[in-house]
Structure 1
Amino acid sequence: MSVSLPPRGRGTASNPHNRFAPQRIIASDDGWFQEVPPSRATEVRVEMAKSIISRNQSPDLPFDRSLNPYRGCEHGCIYCYARPSHAYWDLSPGIDFETKLIAKRNAPALLEQQLSKPGYVCAPIALGSNTDPYQPIEREHQLTRRCLEVLLRYGHPLTIVTKGALILRDLDLLTQLAERRLVSVYISLTTLDDELKRILEPRAAAPSARLRTIRVLRENRIPVGVLCSPMIPMINDMELESLLEAAKQAGAQSANYMLLRLPREVAPLFEEWLQAHHPQRAEHVLSLIRQNRGGELYDSRFGQRFRGQGVFAELLAQRFQLALKRLGLSRREGFGLDCSQFAPPGGQLSLL
C-alpha cells in the first residue's frame, strides 16, 4: 500500500472529499517516485461570526456552552475529532483543516453582546472545546486573550483546554480570574515521547513545554488538571501511568482521559497515518479499536464515545482509577467555579 508522506510540520498529506461538495477530485500515484513534499503555508481567513457561544445538551459533557475563536487548528493532530467540522465551510477535514484556518474577528465583541442580553443565565463557558484557543495563530490575532478580558470584566467563569504553551502569555489575566475562582485549566498531554509527538501532533507544544506550563500555572495558583487524550491502543496507551505521574509531579491537581474517537473523515485519515508511520502494527491497532467500538471504528453513542467498551476499554479504565488513587489525583471538573460574580458592566445589580 503506497501512502504519501505529509508535508513538513503537518499531520496529513491527504485532503479527503468534502462530503457536501457535488464534485470530487482524485489524485493518482503513477508510482515513478516518492519524495518528501515541501512545507505548506498556513492561510488565515477572517470571518465576522453571527454568534460565538455554542450550546450542547450532551449528557457526557461537563458543560452546556462553549466558545471557539478559531475554525480549524494549526496543531495538525491527526486524531482530532473536530476535523469533520471543516466540511461545513467547503473545506476538507484533511490538510485544509490544519492549513486553511478561520479567525472569528468579532469574537470578543460578539461575546460581550451575548453576555449582555437580559435573559442570559451564567454558567461556565468551555474555551477550546472544538479547536485549540492557543494554537500558533493566536499569537498574532489575540482573540482568545481579548475574550478572556471580556470574561474577567463580566465576572464570568470559564474552563480552558489546550496543548499550547502560549497560554502562559496570559498569566496576568488568568491570575486575576483564578483569584476570583473564575477559571480552571486542563492541559492536554498525549505522550512524553518527542518523536511520537512530532508525527501525532506536529505543531503542538513539546511534552516538556506542556509539563512546564502545568508547573507555572500552579506556581501562580491557577487550578490546573491534565487530560490524557486520546488514549490510542498500541500507540500511547502504555504511557498512561507515566503521563499521570509526570503531570502530578508538575503540579496537576486532577486528571481525566478519553479513548480515541474516529468520527467521519477522521477514521480514514488515521488509517493512512498508521500505514505511513506504523505499518507493521496498523492492523493490530485497528483491530483493538474495533474491539472497543462494537466492531466498528467509531461508536457515537452517549456514554460510549469517550470510554468505549470491551476488555481493553475496561482495563484502561481500571489502570486509570488505580493511578489516580496512587497519585492522589481527583477527577473533579471545574474546580468549584463561582457563577455568583457575573455582572455585566453598567447593568443594575439585584437588591435580593
Structure 2
Amino acid sequence: MSKEKTVMKKMTTRDANFVRLLIVFAAVFVICSLLQGGKFLNLDNFGSMFKQFPEYGLLAIGIGMALLIGGIDLSAVYLANLSSIIAGLFVLKFMNDSGDPQTGLILVSFLIAILVGAVGGAVNGLLISGVGIPAMLATLGTQSLFWGIGVVLTKGSTLSKFPKGLTMMLNAKIGILPVTVVIFAIVAAVCIVIVAKTKLGYEMKMYGTNNKATIYAGLNNLKIVVLTHMISGILAALCGIIMWGRYSSAKADNGATYTMQAILIAVMGGISPNGGKGNVQGIVLAVLIIQMVSSTLNMFTWIPTPCRQIVWGVLLIVVMILNYYSDQKAKKAK
C-alpha cells in the first residue's frame, strides 16, 4: 500500500464519525427542506436558528467534556440559571434609572456569572473526585442545590427590568452573524484546541479510558476532574448569560428541557458515554443537526411540546445503539 493511501486510510478511520455526521447533516437538511419547503429555506428561519443553538450548543460542549472523562454533568442547566440570577441581582442592585445602557455594569455582571459557573463546576469536581461520589449522583444533587438556591434568591419569581445594554449587547450582530454565534464559535474553537492539542485534553482522555491507570502514570486525578468540571461550569455560565440576554430576564427554570438535548448532541457528536473517546468538532456539527430537527418540529404546531421530548429520548437511544454497533465493528476490524 502506498504512503498516500496509508495516510488517507488513517484520516478516514480517525474522522469516520465526523464524515458520518456530515452525511447525516446533508440528509437532515434535505428532509427538513422537503417537509417544510419555503418555511425552512427562509432567511427568518435561519435567523431564528442562529439565535437558538448557541445556548444548548455551549451546554453540549460542557457536558461532552464531562462525558469524555467518563462522567456526566446533570447540573449544567441549573448552574447556567444560577449564574444569570446572581449576575442579574448584582445588576439590579447597582443599576441607575438614567436609561443609559450601563455597559460597564453589564460586563462586570458577565464576569460574576462566569465566576459562579467556575465555582459551581469546581464543587461538582470535588464531590466526584475528592469525595468519591459517582458523577451522576453528585451532579443530580447539585442540580437540585443550584435550582434551590436560584428559587430562594428570586423568591420563585422572574428577575426582569434590566438596563437596555443587556439586550443591546447580546442581540447585536457582528457583520451578518449574531454576537452569540460568534461567542459560540470562539468558545468551540478554544475547546477543540484544549481537547485535541493540550496536555489537559490528553489527560482527560486518559482518565476517561482508565482512571486507575492515570494514578500509576503519575497524573493528578483530582486536578483533571475539577478542571474539566470547571470548564463545563464556565460554559454553563455563558449559556446562562445568553439566555438572560435573549429573554431579558433570569429565573431558576429557564431552559429546563436543554439537558436531554445537550446529552443527545454530545453523544451524537461522537463523545463516548463510557469516556476516553470523542472530539468537540463532532459536537459542533451535531448541534446544527439537532437545531434543524428542532426548528422543523416547531413548524408542526399540532405536535405537543411533551412529544418533542419523546423525539429527543428516542433519538438518544437510537444514537447510542448505532454507536455501540459501530464500536463493535471497529473492534472486530482490529
TM over 0.5: no
More helix by share: 2
Q: Which has the higher contact order (CA 8 A, sep 6+)?
A: 2
More strand by share: 1
